[in-house]
Amino acid sequence: MSKLIDGKALAAQMREQMAVRVEKLKETGIVPGLAVVLVGEDPASRVYVSMKEKACEATGIFSDEHKLPADTTQQELLQLVDRLNNDPRIDGILVQLPLPDHIDEDCVINAISPLKDVDGFHPYSVGCLAIGNPTFRSCTPYGVMKMLESIDYDLNGKEVVVVGRSNIVGKPVALMCLEQNATVTICHSRTQNLAGHVGRADVVIAAVGRPEMIKGEWIKEGAVVIDVGINRVADKKLVGDVEFATAAEKASYITPVPGGVGPMTITMLLFNTIQSASQRVAG
């Protein structure tokens, strides 16, 4: 039977340490600041934004909220981003996605200064990660790496199989594992023999968005299983992309859903914001 990697507990522990770091920064006259921009009324986005604001408050980070109506024009949004880029109180800018259809998301993300790109979505940040010289690492994959670090897992020479190749999870987490000298395979919807790939992995990272599609019987004995998927099924229950009960029989470590990778994402956003503020001190 495997051990759980408890993302909730790890996130709480990291946030405590970060609150101490923020206090120290404040002694030097610097209050880390995160601007959070929400356009429109998407209910899920509203929940995420409010969770981010609360997390900032609890950690001592200044949260600068901008809740804009759904009919905000792209030009108006770009002007706000430009103002935030130049605001010395702001160390990080987060524009909550998805944006309304009339706004070009790439154009908005590209307008965020790479120096304040705490979400790690700007092509500059992605490019820096790809060439092995990372600046801001995107938050969910970075959370995954912190979870592996929390169990002292050495990725050097290990077989990692990432299922999913999205820009926000699959690709960046694969690059981060490569950075730590793992041998990485990325699987996707066209992959043949997914079970075979998963079956030889020392570490399986699932980021697909399909409830329990990765079967426990595929998992190699002793593998580490990180389940990024969050899927709502009957009775509003949340499950991951991995068939948890059967996978837990074989894995050495496994992350639960909920309470696994989920809580780490906002934690890493705070982490990146504090990192950015620390660079203010250095600069």
Residues that bind ligand NDP (CB under 6 A): 140, 163-166, 168-170, 187-191, 194, 207-210, 228-231, 261-262, 265
Q: How far is the CB of 230 from ligand NDP (least distance, A)?
A: 4
User: Which residue among 96, 146, 202, 227 is the active-site one?
Assistant: 96
How far is the C-alpha of 218 from the C-alpha of 200, rounded, in Å? Answer: 9
Strands 33-39 and 92-95, sheet pairing: parallel
| Nearer CB in complex with ligand NDP: 10/115 | 10
Q: How far is the CB of 232 from ligand NDP (least distance, A)?
A: 9
Strands 238-239 and 183-187, sheet pairing: unpaired
| Nearer CB in complex with ligand NDP: 80/194 | 194
How far is the C-alpha of 185 from the C-alpha of 129, rounded, in Å? Answer: 17
Cα-Cα end-to-end distance for the chain:
49
CB-CB contact of 224 with 148 (8 Å): yes
Length of the chain: 283
96 assigned to active site: yes
Q: How far is the CB of 181 from ligand NDP (least distance, A)?
A: 24
Q: How far is the CB of 234 from ligand NDP (least distance, A)?
A: 16
Q: How far is the CB of 255 from ligand NDP (least distance, A)?
A: 10
52 assigned to active site: yes
Closest-by-Cβ residue to ligand NDP is 166
**Tokens at 54, concatenated:** 């609360």
Place of tokens 């998992």: 219
| Nearer CB in complex with ligand NDP: 85/166 | 166
User: Which residue among 64, 119, 202, 227 is the active-site one?
Assistant: 119
How far is the C-alpha of 179 from the C-alpha of 177, rounded, in Å? Answer: 5
Peptide bond into 123 cis (omega under 30): no
Q: How far is the CB of 194 from ligand NDP (least distance, A)?
A: 6
**Tokens at 35, concatenated:** 């601007």
| Nearer CB in complex with ligand NDP: 163/274 | 163
119 assigned to active site: yes
Place of tokens 């408050």: 57
| Nearer CB in complex with ligand NDP: 251/257 | 257
Q: Hey, is 102 helix, strand or coil?
A: coil
| Nearer CB in complex with ligand NDP: 33/170 | 170
Contacts of 33 (CB under 8 A, 6+ apart): 61, 62, 63, 64, 87, 89, 90, 91, 92, 273, 277
Residues with active-site annotation? 52, 96, 119
